[in-house]
Chains A and B, each alone.
Chain A
Amino acid sequence: MGDDEQTGQPTVSVGEFVRAAPARLGLSVLAGGGGLSVRRINSSRIQKLGLALAGFTHYIHEGRVQIVGQSEVWFLGQLPEGRRREAISNLALGRISCVLVTKDLVPPAELVEAAEAEGLPLLRTPLVSSAAISVVSEHLQQALAPRELRHGVLLDAYGLGVLIEGESGIGKSECALDLIVRGHRLVADDTVEVRRVGAERLTGCAPELLREHMEIRGLGIINIRELFGVSSIWAGAKQIGLSIRLERWGEMKEVDRLGVDVSEVEILGVRIPQVLLPVSPGRNLSTLVETALRVHLLRARGRNAALDFVARHAALLAHEAGGAGGGGESGEPGENVSAAARSDFSDEPEEA
């Protein structure tokens, strides 16, 4: 895993690809093992060598996996030996990331020799091209997804991935521990590997080393699965649905008193809802986080108590204004004020 220095696009070496690829791909290295750690893949899209073998080499993308299937092997096989060598040398094998032969086909000896000479990893899979392409693309999409390490705790609570963030020492881990004791699950403590999957989904998981572990000041490093059982751990990646940011009471610029506005945080270009929770002695953080989750889930199902309350209050004000006879200029002053007060929040989804 690494990043292309110019574009910031994550890349994987061919060796990493071979190691991490799904077992059903059954990859073996036929030749060019020397290039495994040097050559890098930077795209989840594949390419078929087809036309390039026929001489049209302008369109070769160096960072993609090049597929050689039945048609390519057949095409090379029917060429006279001299033309076959020429076709292979035209490929400029020095710059291609790797070549994947499908269907357990036997590639021409000239290709094997050239790959070995150039240090081009020549791989093979028993899968037919169509199946191999879909497995490779899916795996590379995951492996090449933009990622970021974030300082925080990721939990699975009520089925929702919750990222708890805040400065060091504010009590993220203690709060998470409290939630685990209440039956929620730990995904990652301290450092969360966040990935963007597709255009608008974020998932997080624990770095290999930290998996199942937490550090609690005064207790040191503890293993959550050993202490609280298998059900206290979420193994693997969890989609992140909500961010909760803990801030010291005095340092918060604005504390939301109504709960009508939804704030958001942007991670890897994806916006997710965020709740800012002021922390101070006497506020039970885990209860607050649990309640924030319930509020979030209820809103996701279309119920918003804060908005309903604001509407009730607007109706009351309208009634007051109408009753006092002082506020309105039209025939139905009350209705006007009420409607206007509600429309003040019209950026929020509200029942018709």
Chain B
Amino acid sequence: MQERRVVIVNRLGLHARAAAKLVRAAGEFASVVRLERADGGASADAKSILSVLMLAAARGTELKVTAEGADEAQAVEAVCRLIEGGFGEES
């Protein structure tokens, strides 16, 4: 199991289109990928769009990304890179 913490940096937060990107990225991996609010609020299956949207993660929210499976390290890396890069949006 791999785990890392990231902070949402883009201005719009984890909005719908960003969530769609995240779900697509997580879907590339065989591992079970989860997102959890660091404040102990909601947690989500990173491959389910509705679940990710339920996190309601605005800018500044800290998330815990975990993955478990054959490609867990790459999965965590890919998801964190996407979030830290602000989903490729200008912030």
Chain A interface (Cβ within 8 Å of chain B)?
254-255, 257-258, 260, 309-310, 313-314, 316-318, 320-321, 324, 326-327, 337, 340-341, 344-345
Contact = CB atoms under 8 A, between A and B. Distances in A.
Interface string B6-26: 000001111111001001100
Nearest to B49: A257
B17 A340 contact: no
A258 B59 contact: no
B61 A320 contact: yes
B56 interface: yes
Contact of B15 (A255, A257, A313, A324): A313
Interface of A is mostly: helix
A317 B58 contact: yes
B30 to A, nearest CB: 14
B44 interface: no
B16 A313 contact: yes
Given A254-B24, A258-B20, A321-B58, A344 B12 contact: yes
Contacts of B57: 317, 320
A326 B12 contact: no
A314 B16 contact: yes
21 contacts: A257-B23, A257-B24, A257-B49, A258-B20, A260-B17, A310-B16, A313-B16, A314-B16, A317-B13, A317-B56, A318-B58, A320-B58, A321-B13, A321-B59, A326-B58, A327-B11, A327-B58, A327-B59, A341-B12, A341-B13, A341-B15
A344 B59 contact: no
A340 B61 CA distance: 18
A280 to B, nearest CB: 14
Nearest to A320: B58
Given A258-B16, A337-B13, A344-B15, A321 B53 contact: no
A87 to B, nearest CB: 72
Contacts of A320: 13, 56-58, 61
Contact of B49 (A254, A258, A321, A324): A258
Contacts of A317: 12-15, 56-58
A326 B20 contact: no
A310 B3 CA distance: 29
B13 A327 contact: yes
A326 B58 CA distance: 9
B69 interface: no
A337 B20 CA distance: 18
A182 to B, nearest CB: 28
B88 interface: no
Contacts of B53: 313
A314 B15 contact: yes
B85 interface: no
Given A257-B20, A260-B17, A316 B56 contact: yes
Contacts of B11: 327, 337, 340
B22 to A, nearest CB: 10
A310 B57 CA distance: 14
Q: Which of B12, B13, B16, B56 has the most CB of A within 10 A?
A: B16
A337 B24 CA distance: 24
A102 to B, nearest CB: 62
A337 B59 CA distance: 10
A332 to B, nearest CB: 14
A310 B41 CA distance: 21
Nearest to A328: B59
A341 to B, nearest CB: 5
Contacts of B14: 317
Contacts of B16: 258, 260, 309-310, 313-314, 341, 345
